[in-house]
Structure formats: C-alpha cells, structure tokens
Amino acid sequence: MARIADFVAIQDHGSTIPHPQTGINDVHFPPFDAPDVSGAPAILAFRVESKGDVVLSASLNGRLLFQEPFKTTPVRSWHEVISTSGIVQATGNNLTLAASGQGSVTVSDVVLHFQAWAPSHPTPIMAAQETRYSQPLSCGVRTGVIVISGRHFLQSRTLEPSDIEVFLGRQPAEVQERLEKYAEDHPEVSKETTEILMMDVEVPHPRDLHKHTDEQAAIVAAYKTRIAALKAVFRKAKLCMYGTLNPDGQGRPDGEEYLARLEALKTAGTQGLYDQLDYLVPVLYPRFGPNDSEATWTSYRAYTEQGIDGSRQLLKSDNTSLPLLPVTGFRIANKNTVHNRELLLDLPVDDPLGHTLRVQLEVMAEKGVQQVVFWVGKDSDLLDDPNPNGRTVTEHVCGR
C-alpha cells in the first residue's frame, strides 16, 4: 500500500487555559480518529496566543508531547513533531492541553497532520492462453502469468463415468510426459522459468467438486498428481490452479451452490490440494451488464468481496494460507444475461469500466490483493470476436 499525507481538524474555535470563569487549567478535546495511520511521524499544529508567564503542556493518549514556557507574544503557530510510533491511533485519540504559571494561553485551529496507508490497486498481469503475452504493454500492466490448457494435463474428455475413470487413473509419468511435450512445443516458456504457471484443468472443474460426492477424494488426488507433474517439469516456476473458487454470480452469501462449492474446496484443502501451490485463483470474470436487473448490475462489489473472502477460507493441510491471484477479463462471461460475450467497453452505459472492472479493483485494493490477472484468449492486442468495434486490450486496461 502507498503512504499518503492526511490530516484531521480537532478543533476550530479557541479555548483559553486557565478558563476565565472556572479557572480550570486544562482542556480535553473530543476524541478524534486518524484513519489508516501508518505509524510514521506526525505533526500537531495549532495557533497560540499567550499572556503573562505560562507553561503549556500537551498530552496525547496519555503520553506527554511537550512542556514549554510561553511569555506574552503575538498570535503565532506552534508545531510539535510526534516522532514516536504508536502514539497516534487510528481511532479514539485523546488530546489534552494544560497550562500552569502566572498567565493564560488561548489555542485554536488545532490540527493533526499524519501519514496514512492508502490502498493501492493490485498490479495487473496480462495472461494469454498457452504462451506468454508479448504485445506492447501500457498503464502499469506487466506479464508473468502463463495459462496452460487442461489438455496438457490429460484432463477428462467429458464428464461421462468412463472418461472420468480414465482421468483418475492417469499416472504421474503420463502427465509429466505430456507437459514435457508442451515445453518442447513452447520454447518461449523456459523450463527454468520463474514465472507463474496456471494449471487450467476444467474437466472436471474445481468449481463442481461438490457435485462429485463419491469421487471427490479421488478427483483431488488426480489434481495433485497433475500439480506435482507441473512442478517436476517447471521446477522453479510459481504454480496456481485455475478456478479454486467461483463466487455466486451476485455475491449472495446464502447462495446454496456457492456454499456447497466452498465447503467442498475447504475439504480439498485438508486433503492437500493446495500444498504445492503458490497462489489461489478466485474466478472473477464480469457477469452482468446494465440491461440486467438492478440487483445483478450493481452486484460487482458483493461478488468480488465474496470471491476474495471465500478464497481466504481455503487453507493448506497445515492450516496455512496462500496469497490470492484473482483472474478477470474484458467481456461478460455469463450465459444467463443479454450481455453474454459483450466487451465491457461496448456496454450501453456511460463509463462502463467504472461500473465493472474499477469496482473490482477497488475491492481488491481494500482487501490487500497484490496482483490480478487479466486473461486474453490469444497473444494479441486486438481482442477476439465478437468484437464489432475493434476493441483492444490496451483500451480496456487504460480505460479509454
């Protein structure tokens, strides 16, 4: 996260100490917050007018900041650097000014200047299918993720029991041999690469693990066989598996299929599915457009939050967690919408990215996600058809 300058106005009007009527020699300011304070040095500033010989002291959250003698002077400012970390708190700060001696002090325009953590958007990574994305990059996008199709992992041909049986029976040497062939056919992806490789096995799909009650443990074991083979061939690469969680399309917390999916994937974690992975991959493709119902069109925040929060419940067998690498894209992916396959920049609404991708990136920033993958089908700046307006990757990632 980035560190930014921020401030909080504690009090505008003046307070005289000792109080002219009561003689009380201190003033307690209302509690104030310093949201996302970073712990770096802060500055307490105020205007001061003193009369006579008086000593002014300030305490913040029970810690003495200064004790300074004043004599009669014109109105001037006072700045006190708070260099000790931990004094300024994110919420409920208590500031007290006190005076002693023969005189009085009037303080006003009390402000605390502090440094705060500001969420920074995750780094966007462009990923093409089967190869490294090699087109010119703009607007902070980089490469570093390669998506390898399921056929290179000998995924099942169909969901028919006979095909699933073949999938479950594949031996590690068979899968490794097929991945060696992938490496031979794709010399641009070195076997010594340190990039992120995403295993894209979709038959059977991890999102449907809950539907295979009787075979769930065997399917998890088959996935693990393929992850181990990938690690054997690309021993220095970072590994992840596509589809470790698909949230409910609207982010509904009580969605029955989502809850069943989550439980199955949590169980898979206890069986070691994620033990050799370096990232979890929530699938966060755009799902709805402006001609859908208001509830669905405005569900991008809930949908993204659920994908991230749910993924953080998926643990390795030793109960440790993995960083997230969400995957999203530039078109609507949902057969149950009038906008299916429509590119985001072609959605019939002002600022389409502001309603979709930017919402998702804001949520990821708030939740501390460091990287996000933008998937494209081929190594080209021009996006695949349907693309009636000749939209490009660059247009989408740069928002223009």
**CATH number (domain holding residue 29):** 2.60.120.260
Distant-in-sequence, close-in-space partners of 279: CB < 8 Å, separation ≥ 6: 196, 238, 239, 240, 322, 323, 324, 325
Direct distance between the N- and C-terminal alpha carbons of the chain, in angstroms, rounded to an integer: 25
Measured distance CA(182)–CA(185) in Å, rounded? 5
Phi, psi (degrees; rounded to nearest 5) at 26: -145, 165
205 and 335 fall within a common domain: yes
328 and 236 fall within a common domain: yes
Q: Taking 60 as the threshold, does the pLDDT of residue 158 lie above it?
A: yes
Q: Taking 70 as the threshold, does the pLDDT of residue 2 lie above it?
A: no
Q: Radius of gyration of the chain from Cα atoms?
A: 29
Q: Taking 70 as the threshold, does the pLDDT of residue 296 lie above it?
A: yes
Summarize pLDDT for 194-222 with one digit per residue, the tens: 999 999 999 999 999 999 999 999 999 99
Check residue 172 and report its DSSP letter.
H
**Among 94, 118, 142, where does a domain finish?**
118
- pLDDT for the residue numbered 4: 80
Three-class DSSP category at 246: coil
**Among 58, 86, 118, where does a domain finish?**
118
- pLDDT for the residue numbered 40: 87
**Among 90, 118, 146, where does a domain finish?**
118
Number of domains in the chain: 2
- pLDDT for the residue numbered 86: 85
73 and 145 fall within a common domain: no
113 and 216 fall within a common domain: no
- pLDDT band at residue 390 using 50, 70 and 90 as cut-offs: very high
| Dihedral (CA of 37, 43, 46, 50) sign | positive
> 316: burial class by Cβ within 10 Å (0-12, 13-18, 19+)?
middle
- pLDDT band at residue 8 using 50, 70 and 90 as cut-offs: very high
What's the chain's average pLDDT?
95
- pLDDT for the residue numbered 36: 83
Q: Taking 90 as the threshold, does the pLDDT of residue 138 lie above it?
A: no
Beta strands in the chain (DSSP E): 2-11, 15-17, 26-28, 42-60, 63-70, 76-82, 95-118, 123-128, 145-149, 196-200, 238-245, 279-282, 327-328, 371-376
CATH number at residue 299: 3.20.20
DSSP 53-120: EEEEEEEETTEEEEEEEE-S--SEEEEEEE-STTSS-SS-B-EEEEEEEEEEEEEEEEEEEEEEEE--
202 and 106 fall within a common domain: no
- pLDDT for the residue numbered 50: 93
Around 50, how many Cα atoms within 13 Å sit in the side-chain half-sphere? 21
- pLDDT for the residue numbered 241: 98
Q: Taking 70 as the threshold, does the pLDDT of residue 233 lie above it?
A: yes
Structural domain including 45 reads 2-118
- pLDDT band at residue 1 using 50, 70 and 90 as cut-offs: low
215 and 137 fall within a common domain: yes
287 and 364 fall within a common domain: yes
State the average pLDDT over residues 311-326.
Answer: 97
40 and 96 fall within a common domain: yes
- pLDDT band at residue 73 using 50, 70 and 90 as cut-offs: confident
215 and 77 fall within a common domain: no
Summarize pLDDT for 356-389 with one digit per residue, the tens: 999 999 999 989 899 999 999 999 999 999 999 9
241 and 96 fall within a common domain: no
Summarize pLDDT for 12-70 with one digit per residue, the tens: 999 999 998 998 999 999 999 998 888 889 999 999 999 999 999 999 999 999 999 98
State the average pLDDT over residues 271-285.
Answer: 98
- pLDDT band at residue 282 using 50, 70 and 90 as cut-offs: very high
- pLDDT band at residue 292 using 50, 70 and 90 as cut-offs: very high
